[in-house]
Structure 1
Amino acid sequence: MKRWAKGMTEAEIAELGQLPLLAGVPADLLRAPALRWTRRHYDAGQIVFDRDSRDGDVYFVRSGAVMAIYWTADGRELVFSKMGPGSYLGELAALDDGPRSVSIYAQQPTEVLVLGQAGFLWLLEEVPALKLQIIRDLSGRVRALTERVAALLSQSVEERVRGFLARLALETGQFHPGGLINGAPTHAEIAGNVGANREAVSRTMSALARAGIIETARQKITILVPEALQAGTGTATPAAE
């Protein structure tokens, strides 16, 4: 772990300015003594912070990827989101001074820049545009969670798995016949995303493969009939270019 001193280098200031949320923040504010930055490294599988922990630090992902996880009382793992370079997390606890709502762990070797709660709140007061951006980001997350809850209440496991695969293909630019998703999630990870158990997901993936809708290999999913993944799931079709 490396804590940056007050005299930050221009390279370090430039590094902070590359983070999407901080891209418009003047350099003199990023080097202000009120901001205490820490650089941390996590190995794959290592916990970044636990649910219900009380620190209010805000984390910015520089490299790698992290996952937001909620473990139920019966030990099931629910995956809320995966975040890669440029993402930030931990802002809820910083804003309301409450406990962490989910656990975060590194899905692969990951480097983060950490800003203490006091510095984060100070920066929001100094740069009002940051408040608006965070409100917009939180609004997007609420919309996504609303759609997810609706799917859990109204769709079968098969429909939820198909919807998940359709969204994954859209996000990776592979929503077309022959689209190849490399580094595909495991059945356990898909189960965590759709609120099902691994066995049910495995049965659904096998059924989709037998129907000729997808092909699967180790950490790879090939999309054969993208429209069949969308049917009845509410997943939007990409606009024609």
Structure 2
Amino acid sequence: MTRCIYYAAALKSSVYRANGLGAGRDAVGADSGMSRLTVESLRTITVFKPLSDLAFADLSQRCVMRHLDPGELVIGHTDQTLDVYFLLGGLARVSIYSADGQRVGFRDLTAGAIFGELSAIDSKPRSASVECVDPCSVVTMRREHFLDALGKYPAFSLAVACHLTAQIRSLTTRVFEYSTLAVRNRVRLELLRLLDAASDNGSAGLLTQVPTHAEIASRISTHREAVSREVAWLEHNKYILKEGRNLRIVDPAALRALVDEDWG
């Protein structure tokens, strides 16, 4: 069951009633097994990091945390909801499903990410679904609080703008790759992107959370068989090594050179 923790200066029953919960539902202390994450944990959220202590104290009181299981939807494509979300822990995936069930993947969300901000800004339906891959701790902020924070705290506004700018740059790059690169090079670049995102082990060339071939295919607009062929070729030619469930890119510079060579 989804469980909620309300962050506030005083956790009183009136807070729960104001947010539509019964006084006895999931209140702190009602369930001794409930995780007690502190407000300071919110500092790991990327767009919260530049906030002053005063601004952070204000926004942290406007957040709700939920624990979700793998496979649960946080938001659904075309939903009419307008809340903004922050991923405190776990892994979630952004995608859209076609009418015949084909999934198009856009990106993975890791701890510290913000999502759902587009609908909060323009009041339009959700542009994609977000589904939990691992158990996730998701922090929710209501639209009115989010918009208020954008107007009140310039550091927060700039952090959100930087996040949106990064997404636009990423999507621009992907569209260019779809239009100019063969599938084999799109696979290679996706592996390099995964390596860049692997902050803990990236310097060693080790990928510990490797998407399935079908997932990679959905991200680069191809089919699973094409990804499997290229991965097999890279492994045969010693560009990558499988280590149990992990994948090691032996020489990232050499893999990048393959792409550059074909790109001309």
Normalising by structure 1, report the TM-score.
Answer: 0.85
1:205 to 213, 231, 241: 231
1:148 to 159, 171, 174: 174
Who is 1:95 aligned against? 121
Distance 2:156 2:41 in 1: 18
User: CA 1:121–1:196 in 2, change beyond 3 Å: closer, same or farther?
Assistant: same
Who is 1:37 aligned against? 63
Residue 147 of structure 1, CA deviation: 0.6
Distance 2:230 2:178 in 1: 16
8 A Cα contact 2:192 2:252, kept in partner: yes
Who is 2:23 aligned against? none
8 A Cα contact 2:39 2:60, kept in partner: no
CA deviations on 1:92-113 (whole Å, 9 max, x unpaired) are 1101111111100111000011
3-state SS, counterpart of residue 148 of structure 1:
helix
Who is 1:59 aligned against? 85
Distance 1:74 1:111 in 2: 31
Who is 1:118 aligned against? 144
> What is the RMSD of the two structures over their aligned residues, measured on CA atoms?
2.6
- How many residues of Structure 1 are paired with residues of Structure 2 in the alignment? 233
Percent identity among equivalent residues? 30
Residue 169 of structure 1, CA deviation: 2.3
Range 11-20 or range 183-192, more displaced: 11-20
Q: Which amino acid aligns with 1:155?
A: L
8 A Cα contact 2:44 2:88, kept in partner: no
Mapping 1:123-202, distance limit 5 Å? 123-172=149-198, 179-202=205-228
CA deviations on 1:63-121 (whole Å, 9 max, x unpaired) are 11111112234432222111111111111110111111110011100001100101111
Range 118-127 or range 212-221, more displaced: 212-221
Distance 2:232 2:161 in 1: 41
3-state SS, counterpart of residue 222 of structure 1:
strand
1:15 to 21, 24, 41: 41
CA deviations on 1:22-70 (whole Å, 9 max, x unpaired) are 2343455455599642211111121111011011111111111111112
Q: Which amino acid aligns with 1:216?
A: K
Distance 1:201 1:92 in 2: 31
Distance 2:60 2:195 in 1: 43
Distance 2:60 2:237 in 1: 59
Runs of 4+ in structure 1 off by over 6 angstroms are none
Q: Mind listing any 5+ residue stretches in structure 1 that lack a counterpart?
A: 235-241
8 A Cα contact 1:175 1:226, kept in partner: no
Residue 161 of structure 1, CA deviation: 0.3
8 A Cα contact 1:6 1:31, kept in partner: no
Residue 164 of structure 1, CA deviation: 0.9
8 A Cα contact 1:213 1:224, kept in partner: yes
8 A Cα contact 1:94 1:117, kept in partner: yes
Distance 2:238 2:131 in 1: 35
Distance 2:60 2:253 in 1: 52
Q: Mind listing any 5+ residue stretches in structure 2 that lack a counterpart?
A: 12-36
